[in-house]
C-alpha cells in the first residue's frame, strides 16, 4: 500500500470537473463558429443554444462553490496572484525539466507549481473576461451600442485564443507528459481521487509536502 496525501478536496474537485466540462462544451461550440472550415456544423443555431446552456453551468458552479468554501476561495485567489523569486527558478528550469526530464534542475515547488499557477490566474482573469463580454453580447444586447458589442466580439475572440491554447497545454501536462506518471498516483489522480502518492508529492511539490508532513526536503531539487 503506497503512502498517499490529499491534494484536492472533494469540493474543489467537483468545481473543477463541472467547470472543466462546461468549458470544453463552450470551447467546442465556440470553435465551430471561429474556424471557417468547421462552421458547417453550426447551421441552424443549435450550437449557440448548447453554448448558452453550458454558460449556465460555467457561471453558476463557481457562484455556488465560493460562499460554501470561502476560506479556500480567498487562499486560492491569493495564491494565483502571489508571484516572486521562486517562480523565476521554475521559468529558468522548465525547458530542461519538461523537454529533457531532468528532475534535478527544478527548484522545490509548492502546492501549485509556477506553470499551474499561471493557468489558474488565467482561469480567474479570463473567466471574468468571458463572462462580461458574453453578458454584453447576449443579455445586454438590446441596451448597448453596436460598436461596444463589436469590440466585445474581439475581446471574446482574444480570450478564446488564449484559454484555448492553455487548455491544450493543461490537458497535456496533466495526463500526457511522461513526468506526471503514473496516472493513478500523480497529476490525474490528484484531481480525480484527490490524492497523490507521497513520493509524487515529495518529488513534484516538495515545499508543500514539507509543510504538511513536517518532513524536511529530501533528495530532489536544490
Partner 1 sequence: MDINRRDFLKLSLPALLLPVAAKTLNVTPASAAGTKNSMIVDEKAVLWDATKCKLCHMCEAACRKKNNLPENVNRTVLTSANPDTKQNIQYIFKHQCNHCSEATCLEVCPVGAVHRNEYGFIEINQATCTGCGYCAEFCPFKVPVLEGSSLSGVRKMEKCTGCPDLQAQGKPTACAGACPFGALTVGDRTDQLIKATQRWVEVKDTIPTATIYGSTQLNGMHLIQLLYSSPDKYGLPVDPKVPVTATIHHEILQPIGWGLGALAIAGLGLNYLMARKSMLEKKAKETKG
DSSP 149-179: HHHHHHHHHHHHHHHHHHHHHHHIIIIISGG
Determine how β-strand 4-6 pairs with β-strand 195-197. antiparallel
Among 151, 212, 218, 222, binds partner 1 (CB under 8 A): 151
Q: Are 208 and 110 in contact (CB under 8 A)?
A: yes
Inter-axis angle of helices 114-138 and 46-68, nearest 10: 120
Q: Which three cell numbers stand for residue 124?
A: 480567474
Stretch that binds partner 1, among 62-70, 80-88, 98-106, 183-191 (CB under 8 A): 98-106
Minimum distance of partner 1 from residue 147's CB (angstroms): 8
35 binds partner 1 (CB under 8 A): yes
Which residues, 6 or more positions from 75, have their beta carbon under 8 angstroms from its beta carbon?
none
Residue 98, CA atoms < 13 Å, CB-side half-sphere: 15
Determine the interface stretch with partner 1 among 3-11, 74-82, 150-158, 192-200 (rule: CB under 8 A): 150-158
Site membership for partner 1, residue 67 (CB under 8 A): no
Among 67, 84, 168, 216, binds partner 1 (CB under 8 A): 168
Report the residue from 28, 33, 66, 124 that binds partner 1 according to the rule CB under 8 A: 33
Give yes or no for residue 161 binding partner 1 (CB under 8 A).
Answer: yes
Is 85 a binder of partner 1 (CB under 8 A)? no
- What's the CA gap between 92 and 96, in Å, rounded? 9
Closest approach of partner 1 to the CB of residue 218, in Å = 18
DSSP SS3 for 195: strand
Alpha-carbon gap, residue 130 to 64, rounded angstroms: 18
User: Given candidates 3, 9, 82, 150, which one binds partner 1 under the rule CB under 8 A?
Assistant: 150
Please select the residue that binds partner 1; options are 84, 85, 100, 219, rule is CB under 8 A: 100
Q: Decide whether 99 or 216 has the Cβ nearer to partner 1.
A: 99
| CA distances, 131 to each of 95, 115, 136, 197, 207 (Å) | 34, 24, 9, 37, 35
Binding site for partner 1 (CB under 8 A): 33-37, 39-40, 42-45, 47-49, 52, 98-102, 138-139, 141-142, 146-147, 149-151, 153-154, 157-158, 160-161, 164-165, 168-169, 172, 176-179
Amino acid at each position: 500500500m503506497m503512502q498517499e496525501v490529499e491534494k484536492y478536496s472533494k469540493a474543489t474537485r467537483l468545481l473543477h470537473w463541472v467547470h472543466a466540462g462546461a468549458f470544453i462544451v463552450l470551447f467546442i461550440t465556440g470553435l465551430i463558429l471561429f474556424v471557417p472550415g468547421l462552421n458547417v456544423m453550426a447551421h441552424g443555431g443549435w450550437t449557440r443554444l448548447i453554448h448558452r446552456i453550458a454558460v449556465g453551468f460555467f457561471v453558476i458552479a463557481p457562484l455556488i462553490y465560493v460562499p460554501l468554501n470561502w476560506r479556500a476561495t480567498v487562499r486560492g485567489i491569493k495564491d494565483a496572484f502571489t508571484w516572486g523569486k521562486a517562480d523565476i527558478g521554475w521559468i529558468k528550469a522548465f525547458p530542461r525539466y519538461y523537454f529533457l526530464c531532468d528532475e534535478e534542475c527544478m527548484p522545490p515547488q509548492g502546492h501549485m507549481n509556477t506553470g499551474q499557477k499561471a493557468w489558474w490566474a488565467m482561469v480567474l482573469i479570463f473567466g471574468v473576461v468571458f463572462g462580461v463580454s458574453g453578458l454584453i453580447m447576449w443579455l445586454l444586447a438590446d441596451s448597448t451600442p453596436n460598436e461596444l458589442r463589436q469590440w466585445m466580439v474581439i475581446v471574446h475572440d482574444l480570450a478564446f485564443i488564449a484559454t484555448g491554447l492553455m487548455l491544450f497545454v493543461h490537458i497535456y501536462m496533466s495526463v500526457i507528459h511522461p513526468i506526471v506518471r503514473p496516472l493513478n498516483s500523480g497529476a490525474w489522480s490528484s484531481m480525480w481521487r484527490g490524492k497523490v502518492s507521497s513520493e509524487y508529492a515529495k518529488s513534484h511539490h516538495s515545499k508543500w509536502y514539507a509543510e504538511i508532513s513536517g518532513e524536511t526536503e529530501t533528495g530532489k531539487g536544490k
